[in-house]
A and B are shown apart, each in its own frame.
Chain A
Amino acid sequence: MTVLPRLTLSALLLGASALTALPLAAETTLTVARSVDADGLDPQKVSTTQSSQVTDLIFDTLVSLDATGAPHPALAESWTISEDNLTYSFTIRQGLTCHDGAAFGPEDVVFTFTRAVAPETMNPRLSQYGPIESVTAEGNVVTVKMTEPYGPFLSYLGSFALPMLCKGSVAADGAFAPIGTGPFSLVEWVRNDHITLKANDAYQGFGQLVENKGRPHIDTLKLVVIPEAVARMAALRSGEVDLAEPSLEEAAMLSGEPGFKIYSADLSGQQVMAAFTWKLPPFDNPEVRRAIGMALDRDAYAAIAYEGLVSPTTCPAAPGLIGVDQEKCAEWGTKYDPDAARAIMEGLGYTPQNPLKIKLSVHALPGFDQMHQMMQQHLAEIGVEAELETREVAAFFDQMSQENQRTEGMPVLWTMGYSGVDSDYMTVMWQQPGFVNMGVGAELDTMLADQRMLTGEARVAKLQEVQKYLLENTYAVPLVSPGWNWLWASTDKIEGFKTGFVASLIFNDVKKID
């Protein structure tokens, strides 16, 4: 009678020591604190970065972009493009499994495209799919036909904006549950609180930026929402979370502190710039715009307002994107030269005693706030009195779409940030009517339409023509890159965390060490 319990006890002890001897057998949970939750997990119905950061973990893409932005095979093992650039044929890889156990195949790809462009889906990213005429499958090949050439198509297919869904995502009654082929599957979502994901045991990855092509090393990934930056940083310091979106101010401080790591999204595709309501005098005068461009000290903004955690930039599209060349842009655009700027303004009759009165319209973001106060001071030095006007995002863009249409009243200098995986976003912004009516004119519209029809070197040349036009006429003053949601901080127990395009998050290689 006494033997059995003893045996059980020693067996237990043995088991326990075996467990401690094999730390890999323990469940690893990585907790990540973000400022904002996803709006939804249906990638065809949401559009914010915070939403796509999550859907990107659940779904994979047809192609995968490398660090230079070139497309490589992923869910599509190969593809061909017709001579006239109108027909894309993707050969879909076989042997892939969805989170619900179903096989992933061409019919899922057709399902994804069909649903994405259907009007009733109300897809906010419809325009990124391009002028799709039809999507059909034959054997392993999915054929996408366009009504006109669409140069950036492959770039967008490689971004987190256009991922591939499994048919199982939409139930018979139309209810949506995110089911994909990505490295993680959804366990639980409590809106505004946390999202729990677990590693996909059957995962086969093709990401160009990833080393571990199999199942992620961590078992559970928990994304929690902590809106207040001070609290987020406290949670990181106390060990409650492993990785967090830091405040700019604390990121600068942590980068010199042992025990912590700071990550910056190098492939963010983000560009921060200043723009003008150029229809309003005297901003209709390119000389005035030029003078203002020369008054703005992008080096100081990067070093002081953004604590040196961003780089000053000279192009209207972000560094690393196709056709973006900082040196050429530097030639075309304005350089910081307050004396020359002051001389131009004095020549036009504006002095510190009789200043040009403008509004500096902005919305609040970390770093931006300090930059705007510095801009205000820099403008004052050349005889421009700028009144700072901060709005929250919704009201700001609404206001700007009205300001950009006005032809009389007080001129407005405004700042904005834009991001994407392809310089094509200049089309979205500047082609008339343009984003918040910032479109410029017929000459630029033609150039922007042309670049979409081109590929390769010809497209690069046309994209540079666009940038030269924007800079020489000073429609835009590029300032810094990246500029928002680009920083991450972790404890030094975390290894292998990376950021991808447009501030996407890559956890495939992450390991937690003790």
Chain B
Amino acid sequence: MTDTALPPRRFRLPAALRHWSIATGAVILAVVVLAAILAPWVAPYDPFRMGSGPRLSPPGAAHWFGTDELGRDLFSRVLLGARASLGIGLAAVVAGLGLGVSFGLVIAFCPARLKGLLLRIVDVVYSFPDTLLALALVAFLGPGAENATLAIAISLIPFYARVTYGLAAVERAKPYVEAAQIAGTAPTRIMRVQVLPNILQSLIVIGSIGFSSAILSAAGLSFLGLGVQPPSPEWGSILASGRNYIARAPWILIFPGLAICLTVLSFNLIGDGIRDLTDPKGRRRRG
């Protein structure tokens, strides 16, 4: 118990990059981000143009990743798809983290009875199948990239709220917060000035964990046809429209699938590394 009460270990970037999994993850992520940024200049073809090549032609010199069912260049589409996938992931995590942290803090500081009920509700929503939750939300909001992002963000809220509550409850029990409360400081001020800065670092770490699940959720929603709308390329939607070519033109599934794997892998590696570095147990007996 004493471990969690210790102030979090300072987290320094140069040192972190020496951690094998963070370094590997960072390299992969850098490539993906670079691809997303440079896509319009690097892509050999217009990713939307049908008949850039013969339909369903296999990977080759003219089309590195082959072409899809409408003769569009798959390499160009996967390249541009990085933008949609990363964009959705980033937006969903930022929005979900913001709202989740607010909820978590409010729950931590609300009267005991209400707290019990709110926590239970958060628990129930958190334990709900995330696919079903996101699906219900997209059905409610309508399909499309923005709504899918929102749905993923909302489905991330209970997780972030639960974690924030846990961290904030620990902070709240500390003498300096109790002192502030006795001194009559407003709860909102305590949250903002004393609690939030102290848990911020842990939250950033948790944010990176949400990233990989957000990207997988986005791919899943697109796979169900509820995410990014055609003809815009997104890895999940390329997979969804190409899945029935698994026997005839497997490259339509292989390349976007690999892109998802590598991107999610990079975030997971970074998250794993950060956890490793900040895990109080692992650290105490280091050396």
Contacts and interface: CB of A to CB of B under 8 A. Distances in A.
B232 to A, nearest CB: 9
Contact of A250 (B142, B225, B248): B248
A229 B225 CA distance: 14
Given A249-B248, A391-B142, A304 B230 contact: no
Given A373-B70, A388-B230, A390-B230, A248 B244 contact: yes
Contacts, number: 56
Contact of A249 (B69, B144, B225, B230): B69
Contact of B70 (A229, A366, A370, A392): A370
A490 interface: no
A449 interface: no
Contacts of A370: 69-70, 241
Interface of B: 50, 55, 69-70, 139, 142-144, 225-226, 229-231, 241, 243-248
A390 B225 contact: yes
A374 B231 CA distance: 9
B247 A253 contact: yes
Contacts of A250: 244, 247-248
B143 A391 contact: yes
B220 to A, nearest CB: 14
A392 B248 contact: no
B44 to A, nearest CB: 20
A369 B143 CA distance: 14
A373 B55 CA distance: 15
A14 interface: no
A455 interface: no
B80 to A, nearest CB: 15
Contacts of B144: 389
A46 to B, nearest CB: 23
A21 to B, nearest CB: 39
Nearest to A364: B225
B230 A229 contact: no
Contact of B231 (A253, A388, A391): A388
Contacts of B225: 364, 390, 392
Nearest to A233: B247
Q: 5 tightest A-B contacts by CB?
A: A247-B244, A249-B244, A364-B225, A373-B231, A253-B248
A369 B230 contact: yes
A377 B144 CA distance: 19
The B interface is mostly helix, strand or loop, or mixed, namely loop
5 contacts: A230-B244, A374-B50, A389-B142, A391-B143, A392-B226
Nearest to B225: A364
A25 interface: no
Contacts of A374: 50, 70
B277 to A, nearest CB: 41
Nearest to B139: A395
B139 A372 contact: no
B70 A389 contact: no
A247 B248 CA distance: 12
A255 to B, nearest CB: 12
A376 interface: yes
Contacts of A388: 229-231
Nearest to B50: A377
A247 B142 CA distance: 26
A368 to B, nearest CB: 11
B188 to A, nearest CB: 40
Interface string A81-103: 00000000000000000000000
A249 B245 contact: yes
A392 B231 contact: no
A372 B143 contact: no
B103 to A, nearest CB: 28
Contacts of B226: 392
A391 B141 CA distance: 10
A389 B144 CA distance: 8
A478 to B, nearest CB: 23
B55 to A, nearest CB: 8
Nearest to A248: B244
A229 B229 contact: no
A364 B225 CA distance: 7
Nearest to B71: A304
A5 B90 CA distance: 79
Nearest to B48: A377
A395 B226 CA distance: 12
Contacts of A377: 50
A389 B143 contact: yes
Contact of B142 (A369, A376, A395): A395
